[in-house]
Structure 1
């Protein structure tokens, strides 16, 4: 049975920060360039998710979670809906994370379908994201109808400190 995908309230996000931190820590330990370095302390991961929960509470973002059969978080993605006044139609997709033990089960693709639905419900017609050039996520986004805009060399660091290029994508809903 596929992992259920749910939208979390701010209260649920705060209450589940330990589970979400586990997913983030696993992804970083697995080499994912998602804004954190390999030495990511648990407290920093927890603080990140507390800030996300606060953003959900302020209506700045939507947080989706994929759950395993025990109801524990195994994947997550965010829709950042708080945009400048001249971009009310746009949103950013951020922090697509799937725990390594739950990969290759279609969770990321289902999270993307769910985030599209959330964006439409919020009146968004343009989505933007970026990902490591040449990685699995880049191929996933292309398969899911995202269009690559271009690649920026040396845009970010991998968790081990090596530079990586980033590909920017957009999707018109």
Structure 2
């Protein structure tokens, strides 16, 4: 299946519902996208709405991967820095691929599209964090990102499960 990547789709109520459902599916399939363990639509929806507000304010841009039927199947948010010493890079957050499409090259295509858009915005780099223990840093490294920091046990995913918080950097120049 091929996806088309679109920057800043209309954040209609139906689209936000679709985004929340995708986020729930990815989280419940074990995706490291801000939640740990089983989660519900109701738990995720406030985060979806917060992103919508941030997009409306211009602090984030949404890159959406749509299938041939126009269904949302992938996302990445570009978060812009307001501090004058950090405006040269953006944060890449909530990178998600529909679980039924994972391992089909869509993650690489999504990151390439994000990189392309970041360059058109005049950015010099992208920065992201990922959860240790899942091998995500190896995937990002294979896409050109370099590990530039690690906080051992920086993420608590449950009362007795601490994971490293890994910082990755992709120069665009």
How high is the TM-score relative to the length of structure 1?
Answer: 0.89
Correspondence list, 1:119-158, <5 A: 119-158=118-157
How far the C-alpha of 1:166 sits from its partner, in A, is: 2.2
- RMSD value, Cα: 2.0
Deviation, 1:109, is 0.8
Moved more, 78-87 or 109-118: 78-87
Distance 1:75 1:161 in 2: 31
The reply to whether residue 85 of structure 1 matches residue 84 of structure 2 is yes
Query: Could you say which residue in structure 1 is the equivalent of 2:101?
Result: 102
Tell whether 2:7 aligns with 1:7. Answer: yes
2:21 matched to which residue of 1?
22
Which consecutive unaligned segments of at least 5 residues does structure 1 have? Answer: none
Q: Which has the higher contact order (CA 8 A, sep 6+)?
A: 1
136-145 vs 38-47, which moves further = 38-47
Partner in structure 2 of residue 68 of structure 1: 67
Cα offset, 1:163, TM superposition: 1.4
TM-score scaled by length of structure 2: 0.89
Contact 2:23/2:96 (<8 A) preserved? yes
Structure 1 residue 134: Cα displacement: 4.2
Deviates more, 1:15-24 or 1:134-143: 134-143
73-82 or 161-170, which deviates more: 161-170
Taking a change above 3 Å as real, the CA distance of residues 161 and 36 of structure 1, as seen in their structure-2 partners, is: farther
1:12 partner SS: coil
